[in-house]
């Protein structure tokens, strides 16, 4: 994500553009591994050792509340951050402690269709659905799994 895109995202979220916020978003840019706050702090400190851990945590919470980034809590209660705000779900590979993005428009349609037809949810406006699938990579009999990397 370029500096201009980062600035635009902050402006669109009604946030002031600061060097600290830019540093946090740059650390998340292109990161498909859904880093923890500690992972991000280590990355940020390589370039900006003057940004405190508390500041990074505060910025992450603000970015989540403004829907600039996503927050994922894993089955083992680890909080991770997701720069990808496109509609998607997550595969949590418990043996590797990794989260992999999972895109499936057909699944999204099935879920939303089911939820809108469920009478128990008549008074609820469904805003979004995110599924976290938990599993382990199994060794395929032939070929290689795209998750076995």
Q: What is the pLDDT of residues 82-125, one digit of tens each?
A: 998 889 999 988 888 888 899 999 999 999 888 888 777 878 88
Q: List, in order, residues 6 or more apart from 2 with CB less than 8 Å away.
A: none
Same-domain pairing of 17 and 78: yes
Tell whether 49 and 24 lie within a shared domain.
yes
Residue 22's domain comprises 1-85
Q: Quick one: pLDDT at residue 82?
A: 93
Question: Cβ(56)–Cβ(44) under 8 Å?
Answer: yes
pLDDT of residue 144: 59
CATH code, domain carrying 35: 1.10.10.10
Instruction: Quickly list H helices, the chain.
Output: 3-12, 19-28, 37-45, 53-65, 105-117
* Per-residue model confidence as pLDDT tens digits over 8-18: 999 999 999 99
d(CA 129, CA 108) in angstroms, rounded, equals: 8
Query: What is the per-residue pLDDT for 103?
Result: 93
Cβ neighbours of residue 146 closer than 8 Å, sequence gap 6 or more: none
- pLDDT tens digits along 46-59: 999 999 999 999 99
Contact call for residues 73 and 79 (beta carbons, < 8 A): yes
Q: Is residue 118 part of a domain?
A: yes
Q: What is the pLDDT of residues 26-84, one digit of tens each?
A: 999 878 889 999 999 999 999 999 999 999 999 999 999 999 999 998 877 889 999 98
CATH classification at residue 125: 3.30.1490
pLDDT of residue 141: 61
Band of residue 148 on the pLDDT scale cut at 50, 70, 90:
low
pLDDT computed for residue 66 by the predictor: 96
Q: What mean pLDDT is reported for the chain?
A: 89
Beta bridge partners of 99: 92
Residues 56 and 75 in one domain: yes
What are the tens digits of pLDDT across the range 120-144? 787 888 888 888 898 998 876 665 5
């Amino acid at each position: 994500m370029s500096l201009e895109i980062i600035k635009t995202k902050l402006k669109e979220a009604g946030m002031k553009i600061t060097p600290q916020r830019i540093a946090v978003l740059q650390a998340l840019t292109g990161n498909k591994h859904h880093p923890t706050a500690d992972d991000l702090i280590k990355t940020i400190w390589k370039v900006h050792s003057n940004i405190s851990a508390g500041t990074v945590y505060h910025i992450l919470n603000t970015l989540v509340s403004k829907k600039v980034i996503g927050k994922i809590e894993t089955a083992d209660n680890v909080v991770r951050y997701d720069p990808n705000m496109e509609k998607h779900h997550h595969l949590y590979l418990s043996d590797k402690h990794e989260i992999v993005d999972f895109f499936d428009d057909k699944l999204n349609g099935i879920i939303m269709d089911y939820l809108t037809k469920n009478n128990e949810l008549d008074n609820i406006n469904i805003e979004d659905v995110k599924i976290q699938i938990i599993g382990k990579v199994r060794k395929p009999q032939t070929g290689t799994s795209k998750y076995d990397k």
